[in-house]
Amino acid sequence: MADKMITNAREMTNTEYLYGHRACAGCGGSLALRLAMKVLGPRTFVALPANCMSAVSFLYPQISFTTNAMITPFPATGAVLSGIEAGARALGFEDYNVVGFAGDGGTADIGIQALSGAIDRGDRVIYLCYDNEAYMNTGIQKSGLTPFGSKTTTSPAGENLPGATGRKKDMFEIVAAHGIEYAATASIGYPEDYLKKVSRAAQCSTTSYIHVLSPCSTGWGFPVEHTVELGKDAVDCGLWYLAEYENEEFTLNRKPKEFKPIEDYLKKQARFKHLKEKEIDFIKYNRDRKWEKIVKKWNL
Amino acid sequence: MPGKRIFVSGDEAVAEAVRLTKPNVISAYPITPQTVAVERISDFVEDGSLKAEYIHVESEHSAMSAALGAAAVGARAFTATSSQGLLYMAEVLPYVSGARFPIVMMNANRTLATPWALLSDHRDSLSQLDSGWIQVYCESAQETLDMVIQAYRIAEDQAVMAPMMVNLDGFILTHTYEMVDLPGQKEVDEFLPAYDTGNKMDLEDPRAVCYAAMNEYMEFHMKQEFDMRNAPSVIAGVDKAFGEKFGRYYSGMVEQYRCDDADVVLVALGSVCGTTRAVVDAMREEGQKVGLVKLRFMRPFPREEIMEIAGRVKAMGVLDKDISVGYEGIVFTNINSSVCDLSTPPPRINFIGGLGGRNISKEDIRHMFNQLFAIAKGEKQEKIQFINVGCDYNG
């Protein structure tokens, strides 16, 4: 367990627990994991289902985690976390963290059943979803967290379709509906907020969940040096939000005075380049509806 | 607690054995006819007679995945399933065997949908022969209880390090009651030491398990195969040690019942062996030289024993409570691949029976032996024959 909150770069260790991996330049996901590991520290059991991060960091004999780590079956992150925790408890281990790093598809699609089970059991595990809004590892296919209008290799944009047509599942609220001890959204564009939330999760005595938006240069189509900027833009234009759920209450951590233009965020990315005005208006409409609800119902 | 005689069902016998083997973690998801086993185990955890973590998982896939996670930190893990549940967790079976985690699982043999059905055949477990798990098939509640205890010692042997599936026929064994000898805890503790392994994640010496391999993938699996080849001698050794301790021997990989001078033998798995013994005894009384080959282990497969038996009989029948649609019985295919290495293999018949729990009576078994005598005499016989069916067919 983390003894103290880490809220900024000065308090963070210089030790690396995830390095030497094969991730693309500008990878938001690897940044999310690297920072989380700096909070969680050396006595951490890591479980990853099939995703970019397991693909780039687990190839025998070059393992990029310096802590204990394992690959899980794709749908099973939540269940393997429970198993690790139960085994560690039964064997009397002390002072350790159990964390799962799953992607958006591994969390919101194939892994949602096992995640729900883990939260229901209340095991002391941290489930971290790094959300890059598509199945990037397999070549940018649509997931349940791909936003409306996003072009992927299975949701092409053409004469008849504007790219993905679904709404991005609201995993944060789905998880909160379990009555989980602690859940939070974050973005690698706001690293101090993110670090604080991982620290908070590590102090929980039951299950916690962090959902961190992790821009993907390869899948979203933007220059590799813009990853952090995109993570910030998503929050600033209101298409993502920073929030926490604790003691059965929602709290919004950051309310932009006014949203940055949504077009700026969308037009920086190849996946949205094709969008027409009415589709952008639709995205705006949905954003505003979501924020109406947030402002009305959540604490500030 | 000293040993005693108890009157229990097969499911309850499994639960009693699990209590004696003291797993650290049990993950369980209910499926008929496995349920009574995991219910009793939960009672034992509740009353404190089994000190273990009991994980209520939300699916069989998660049952095996939770066991995988527990085994990955060096815990002894147990789970149980049946039928569709086994298939639902099928993805995780090679994860476990490839990672060399000696998880033990009870499988209540039940048929597969569709048509949807509840009763017992072997289609579920035989579909998973290639998963890297040791598979044993039991004939009685007593044998099941004893094999759960033996399973941990076999699976956890450093020369083997493979998970093990203990199969018992659904309802026929899981839900019928018999008197069984329950070993004492002290004796089981002496027989089965606490699980200790270096193959785990370790807080003092961190490492990765269940990693990816590209260049070395084939070598990892060669090692798995070579270690599995050690299993038959380990199984024989454990059988001997168990017999010396508890007075019950099971003949290792294969039990030959009245096969020494047999002209024809029938190969079978699981509870139908009990009925077959009775028929063998009756036909022997009549002077007919018949024998039962009780195939206890399907993986690893007892190639040498089967070749040796086939080499001295005039005909060999294989009773499959399964079918690989489009070919033949799965047990038959496995038997054939050994028998065909003989320079003069005996004639063989594949009897398909008991699908979906269809009864296999003494008369059916006698009929099979008669068919074997006929083919031994040179009469032409269909290679695949369906037993006790309600319709005509070409066979």
User: Which phi and psi (to 5°) does residue B370 adopt?
Assistant: -65, -40
Q: Does A92 touch chain B (CB under 8 A)?
A: no
CATH no. of B255-386? 3.40.50.920
The residue among B224, B254, B260 whose CA lies nearest residue B239 is: B254
CA dist B321 and B306 (Å) reads 19
Q: Answer whether residue B2 shows pLDDT above 90.
A: no
Looking at domain B4-246, its CATH architecture is 3-Layer(aba) Sandwich (3.40)
Q: Answer whether residue B288 shows pLDDT above 60.
A: yes
Q: Answer whether residue A4 shows pLDDT above 80.
A: no
**Total number of domains in chain A:** 1
Residue B362 has which token pair? 């003494």
Q: Which structural domain, as residue segments, surrounds residue A48? A: 9-297
> Could you tell me if residue A3 is inside a domain?
no
For residues B96 and B65, the answer to whether their CB atoms sit within 8 Å is: no
| Separation of first and last alpha carbons in chain A | 28
Is the Cβ pair B211, A63 closer than 8 Å? yes
For residues B108 and B121, the answer to whether their CB atoms sit within 8 Å is: no
For residues B177 and B115, the answer to whether their CB atoms sit within 8 Å is: no
pLDDT tens per residue, range A225-268 = 999 999 999 999 999 999 999 999 999 999 888 999 999 999 99
Chain A residue with CA closest to B209: the answer is A70
- pLDDT at residue B42, rounded to an integer: 98
> Could you tell me if residue A95 is inside a domain?
yes
Q: Answer whether residue A3 shows pLDDT above 70.
A: no
Q: Indicate the pLDDT class of residue A6, thresholds 50, 70 and 90.
A: confident
Is the Cβ pair A91, B202 closer than 8 Å? no
Share of chain B above pLDDT 70, in %: 99
Chain B positions touching A116 (Cβ under 8 A) are: 58
Is the Cβ pair B208, A69 closer than 8 Å? yes
Q: Answer whether residue B279 shows pLDDT above 90.
A: yes
Q: Answer whether residue A199 shows pLDDT above 70.
A: yes
Average pLDDT over residues A96-121: 98
pLDDT tens per residue, range B223-268 = 999 999 999 999 999 999 999 999 999 999 999 999 999 999 999 9
The tally of CA atoms less than 13 A away on the side-chain side of residue A217 is 15
- pLDDT at residue B238, rounded to an integer: 98
CA dist B98 and B228 (Å) reads 11
Q: Is the ipTM of this complex over 0.90?
A: yes
The residue among B187, B182, B248, B150 whose CA lies nearest residue B8 is: B182
pLDDT tens per residue, range A17-54 = 999 999 999 999 999 999 999 999 999 999 999 999 99
Amino acid (1-letter code) at residue A268: K
Is the Cβ pair A83, B25 closer than 8 Å? yes
Which residues on adjacent β-strands are paired with residue A65? Answer: A18
Between chain A and chain B, the number of residue pairs with CB atoms below 8 A apart is 157
Q: Does A72 touch chain B (CB under 8 A)?
A: yes
Chain B residue with CA closest to A112: the answer is B58
CA dist B221 and B208 (Å) reads 18
The tally of CA atoms less than 13 A away on the side-chain side of residue B383 is 8
Q: Indicate the pLDDT class of residue B278, thresholds 50, 70 and 90.
A: very high
Q: Does A71 touch chain B (CB under 8 A)?
A: yes
Q: Does A87 touch chain B (CB under 8 A)?
A: yes
Beta-sheet pairing, B290-295 with B254-257: antiparallel
For residues A29 and A216, the answer to whether their CB atoms sit within 8 Å is: yes
- pLDDT at residue A204, rounded to an integer: 98
Secondary structure class of A144 (helix, strand, coil): coil
CA dist A6 and B233 (Å) reads 56
For the whole model, what pTM was predicted? 0.97
Domain CATH number, residue A156:
3.40.50.970
Share of chain A above pLDDT 90, in %: 95
> Could you tell me if residue A4 is inside a domain?
no
- pLDDT at residue B1, rounded to an integer: 53
Helices within chain A (DSSP H only) = 28-40, 52-57, 77-90, 104, 112-121, 171-176, 191-202, 227-236, 262-267, 277-297
Secondary structure class of B340 (helix, strand, coil): coil
Average pLDDT over residues A58-72: 95
Q: CA of B218: how far to CAs of B221, B224, B226, in Å?
A: 5, 10, 12
pLDDT tens per residue, range B146-177 = 999 999 999 999 999 999 999 999 999 999 99
Chain B positions touching A119 (Cβ under 8 A) are: none
Q: Answer whether residue B121 shows pLDDT above 70.
A: yes
In this complex, which of B25, B62, B67 lies closest to A90 when CB atoms are compared?
B25
Chain-wide mean pLDDT for chain A? 96
What is the residue whose two structure tokens read 């999310």?
A32
What is the residue whose two structure tokens read 């003069």?
B344
- pLDDT at residue A2, rounded to an integer: 54
Examine domains B4-246 and B255-386 and report if their fold is the same.
Answer: yes
- The number of beta carbons lying within 10 Å of the beta carbon of residue B314 is 16
- pLDDT at residue A177, rounded to an integer: 98
